[in-house]
Structure 1
Amino acid sequence: MSSSQPAFVPPLDYSDEGPGMIISCGILAFIATVLVVLRFWARRLTRSGLGLDDYLTLSALIAHHGLLGVSIAEVIIGGLGRDIRITSTEDPNSVTFLFKGLLTSEILYGLDSTLIKLAVLALYWRIFPTRSMKIGCTILGSVCIAWTVAIEIVNVVQCRPLHAFWDLELQALPTTKCLDPILFFLGNSIANCVVDFATLTLPIREVLRLQMSRPRKLGICAVFLLGGIAFGASLTRTITTAIMHNQGVTNFTKQFVPSGVTTVIEIYAAISGACLPTLVPVYRKLRHGSVLGSTAGSGPGLTPPGVTNTISKMSNRRKIGTTEEGSFERLSNEESFALTAYHGSQQVNISGLKNGRLTHENTTDTTPHGIMVNQEMTWIENTSSRG
């Protein structure tokens, strides 16, 4: 498979980058798996039901493990990481297997890339239930789904007939029509970078509106921006693919290594970044022995079922304002940011007070003798609707 005609043929390269690819991607796969397990443990610690973002993250992890398995097979059987002239001489079928695996990887990537983006958007929807955030999540979610549909369609029609994608001899026939694969990879990567950047920066405005100190705001932003590692990997893949296109394909199994590795890194980094903001209960459990934090006087067993109680003592919250886009709160010095959706409700009762006793009876005396105001704040997370 070739994109453009090379100006020269490089000498044989006897190095093998395959083992390094497998080890580095395997480490990232292990880290991402551990973080997803901890995410589900955090849900159990807070007695919260699993939400849509949890299921989407797990689905993305499973799909990307499948892509990793295909990539490892491409290294071992397809010769990815070695000179294509050497691998094709040792096994003429290696190139065919390589491009079959590449097509499978493209299909899996289109799936797991969108799953993890939707998982992140679902997380934003749950912890920032404001009108502007919901609009942003809806727009980006629609773009992600449309991008996936378009990419998957192109994946299965990029060559006519399709098996010409891995049959290089068939590609040479004048009746065969194929898209330029490198240009397709490049366009796919550019579009993915744009969506990644928009998803990454979406919660910053909401975080800056929180009523807390600037250092805490910066800390929260830093947690969300850890997903920037995935954006960095996506941007790197775009640059390396553009370089490969400009240089011409002279040794695909060597030239495609940076793009292949960053593809695996991108999704595992995105999964890890999506899990980190949810691990506050795990951190408190491991450090303080309680999901309520070091200032809590009781253990995690007192957390009401179905409520994500991750902000120290609930009684220390003081509501300072409410707008039509949501409520905000100021935290005491012992409290920290919690990813918990909440609603405020206030009840005011005005009754007559006669002879020191509260009465609701109809009397001829219509003069009010006193006013009693009873305020009650209720903080609720509806996990069934926001999940």
Structure 2
Amino acid sequence: MQDLRPLSYAVISILYVLGTVTIAMRIYVRGFTMRAFGLDDWAMTAMLVFNSCQQALLYYFLQFGGGLHITQVMTEHPEWLPLLLKGLLAEEFWYIWMQFSVKMCFLLFYFRLSKASQFRMALWGVIGFHIATTVVIWLLYGLQCRPLAAFYDPASYPGVKCLSTDVTYFVPYSLNMTTDLLILFLPLPVVWNLKMTLKRRLAVLA
């Protein structure tokens, strides 16, 4: 069976380096060149730590069978399966935290766009919605099996019924997509009303 681990290691390592360099460049420009370091920049700085933790989780996942067909793992390394599922469970929670943090960087940056009360109220509303949906998704993952240990050790809990993967996939996806659309459309009226040429407004929106 095809082993996707070498390709996976290469892809995630390259993307990690690119992401780290990009964040470092932003920190340098905002902090030393423009001298306009704000709360959104501090949030982006924290992403260096968060992204490193994400990278460690991905390496852990690949170490214990990620990138291999599940039948190959169960046949050749059955002892990996609980570790693989523990990594998957940890990734579920951490991935939502990563999404929360990245989107908060955007939302905190939006405070720079306008001080208009209506825009600020809408912005706080989106932040509140973002926090609420993140908590809902975490609760969903935390309660998907009762006890939660049945997720990574189903053999020890033969009578436990866990939530369908349709639920644990569709609900987070729907909530995240809704938040993405809110973040996308929230600044459009502010940017469109800026006193600049149409060409430049379109460039800013892009």
Q: TM-score, normalised by structure 1?
A: 0.50
Match of 1:215 in 2: 199
Structure scoring higher RCO (CA < 8 A, sep ≥ 6) equals 1
Indicate which of 27, 33, 40 corresponds to 1:45: 33
CA distance, structure 1, for counterparts of residue 28 and residue 184 of structure 2: 25
How many Å separate the matches in 1 of 2:192 and 2:63? 48
1:137 partner SS = helix
Residue of structure 2 in register with 1:31 after alignment: 18
Q: Which residue of 78, 89, 94 corresponds with 1:92? A: 78
- Report the structure number with the largest CA radius of gyration: 1
Contact 2:141/2:168 (<8 A) preserved: no
1:192 & 1:64 partners in 2: Cα distance? 19
Q: Which residue of 1 aligns with 2:68?
A: 82
The answer to whether the 8 Å contact 1:63/1:112 transfers is yes
Return the alpha-carbon distance in structure 1 between the equivalents of residues 147 and 34 of structure 2.
Answer: 53
How far does the alpha carbon of each residue in 1:295-338 deviate from its partner, in whole angstroms, 9 at most, with x for none? Answer: xxxxxxxxxxxxxxxxxxxxxxxxxxxxxxxxxxxxxxxxxxxx
Q: Trace 1:323-362 onto structure 2 (pairs within 5 A).
A: none
Kindly indicate whether the alpha-carbon contact (under 8 Å) linking 1:64 and 1:109 is maintained by their aligned counterparts in 2: no
1:164–1:170 CA contact under 8 A, matched in 2: yes
TM-score by length of 2: 0.91
Q: CA deviation at 1:42?
A: 1.4
Matching of residue 16 in structure 1 with residue 21 in structure 2: no
1:126 is matched with 112
Give deviations 1:252-291, integer Å, cap 9, x for gaps. xxxxxxxxxxxxxxxxxxxxxxxxxxxxxxxxxxxxxxxx
Deviation at 1:195, TM superposition (A): 0.6
Matched positions, count: 205
Q: Which runs of 4+ in 1 moved over 6 A?
A: none
Q: Is the 8 A contact 1:18 1:75 kept in 2?
A: yes
More strand by share: 1
- How far apart in 1 are the matches of 2:35 and 2:42? 16
Q: Report the residue type matching 1:36 in the other structure.
A: I
Code of the aligned partner of 1:39: R
The alpha carbon displacement at 1:182 in A equals 4.1
Corresponding residue of 2:186: 202
| 1:200–1:164 Cα change, 3 Å | same
Report the Cα offset of residue 130 of structure 1: 2.2
Partner of 1:240: none
Task: Give 1:169's aligned residue.
Answer: 155
Instruction: Give identity over the alignment, percent.
Output: 28
| Distance in 2 (alpha carbons) for counterparts of 1:212 and 1:68 | 41
**Which residue matches 2:121?**
135
1:261 corresponds to which residue?
none
What's the Cα RMSD here? 1.7
Report if aligned partners of 1:74, 1:98 keep a CA contact under 8 Å in 2: yes
Matches within 5 A, 1:1-387: 14-43=1-30, 44-48=32-36, 50-77=37-64, 79-171=65-157, 173-174=158-159, 176-222=160-206
Q: Is the 8 A contact 1:22 1:72 kept in 2?
A: yes
Q: Could you give the per-residue CA deviations for residues 336-386 of structure 1, whole angstroms, max 9, x where no partner exists?
A: xxxxxxxxxxxxxxxxxxxxxxxxxxxxxxxxxxxxxxxxxxxxxxxxxxx
Q: CA deviation at 1:164?
A: 0.7
Q: CA deviation at 1:19?
A: 2.1
Aligned-partner Cα distance in 1 for 2:203–2:138? 38
Q: Distance in 1 between matches of 2:143 and 2:7?
A: 33
Unaligned runs of 5+ in 1: 1-13, 223-387
